Amino acid sequence: MKWFGASVLLLLLLYLTGLGYLYFFQRKILFHPTGERKSRKGFFLETPEGAIRVEVRNPGHSQALIYLPGNSEHWWENPDDLARLLPKHTIYFPHYPGYGASEGSPSQKSLFALAQTLYDRIVSGHREIDLIGRSLGSGIALFLSSRRPVRRLVLITPYDSIVSLGAERYPLFPVRHIIRDPFDVRSYAEKITVPTLILLADKDRVIPHAHSHNLIRHFYKIKPRVITLPETDHGSIVDAPEYPKILKNFLE
């Protein structure tokens, strides 16, 4: 009997330890900031979180593209690749708060605020603005396009909500009650009225297709174009041979 009581106590202690870890370190689990790197071409955007680094490529075009990257995508070659692929767009590639050369700390609030502040900073200099959001950035792109006019929207490996992904990944814990950054973006999808392209990875293990398709069902006002790229996973989707052509045809 004493052994049973000790076992129960140990299991309870382990559970509370796991719960405490999820609660106190949830932002370290969710966000993966890249290290600071020397800036190339762009500007610093002043926000309540501090100075946010925005990489700019192909300046001077009437058409603009805001690219909201994935969690570990803040590398300098990414905006260069976009610039070569879309030479008629001026590319704006922000580093999230706490990522790359940006100040501040990442959170749902700070990332949503960054997107709006960047849009408001550049809108007067361009005739139209397109928007791409990849992985984590797809939810930010949905938020922004539900509040600001954009010409076209591209979502790469999108999710319905971070809280639902977390609840699936940690089923023993009350994720829905402790999460600080739920990124529940389904309600934003309901407001989208612009042409939308959604790209899915055939073998995505990070964002299972069920979550992407749940988001797609919330596009009530339009029917987005959905393409699944074969033999790709969450990271390699942008390396698919057909990826550049699909993106270029949709945006140009």
The boundaries of the domain holding residue 203 are 31-251
* Residue 70 in domain: yes
Domain count, the chain: 1
So what's the pLDDT on residue 173? Answer: 87
Which position has the token pair 């792109």? Answer: 141
CATH number of 57's domain: 3.40.50.1820
So what's the pLDDT on residue 38? Answer: 62
Which position has the token pair 């940690």? Answer: 170
* Residue 209 in domain: yes
pLDDT in tens, the chain (252 residues): 666 667 778 788 888 888 888 889 999 999 988 776 666 789 999 988 899 999 999 999 999 999 999 987 766 557 888 999 999 999 999 999 998 889 999 999 999 999 999 999 999 999 999 999 999 999 999 999 999 999 999 999 999 999 999 999 999 889 999 999 999 999 999 999 999 999 999 999 999 999 999 999 999 999 999 999 999 999 899 999 999 999 999 998
Strand order in the sheet with 42-47: 42-47, 50-57, 89-94, 63-68, 128-134, 153-156, 196-201, 225-229
Distances (CA, A) of 58 to 47, 63, 93, 159, 240: 24, 10, 12, 30, 24
Measured distance CA(64)–CA(123) in Å, rounded: 9
* Residue 230 in domain: yes
Q: Say how many C-beta atoms besides its own lie within 10 A of residue 233's C-beta.
A: 15
Alpha helices in 93-235 (DSSP H): 108-122, 136-145, 162-169, 175-178, 186-189, 209-216
Give the distance from CA 93 to its chain's centroid: 12
* Residue 10 in domain: no
Question: 34, 72 in Cβ contact below 8 A?
Answer: yes
* Residue 131 in domain: yes
pTM: 0.93
So what's the pLDDT on residue 133? Answer: 97
* Residue 3 in domain: no
Residue 16: half-sphere exposure toward Cβ, Cα within 13 Å? 6
So what's the pLDDT on residue 5? Answer: 66
* Residue 235 in domain: yes
Residue 215: name the closest of 149, 133, 152 by CA: 133
* Residue 211 in domain: yes
Measured distance CA(167)–CA(136) in Å, rounded: 17
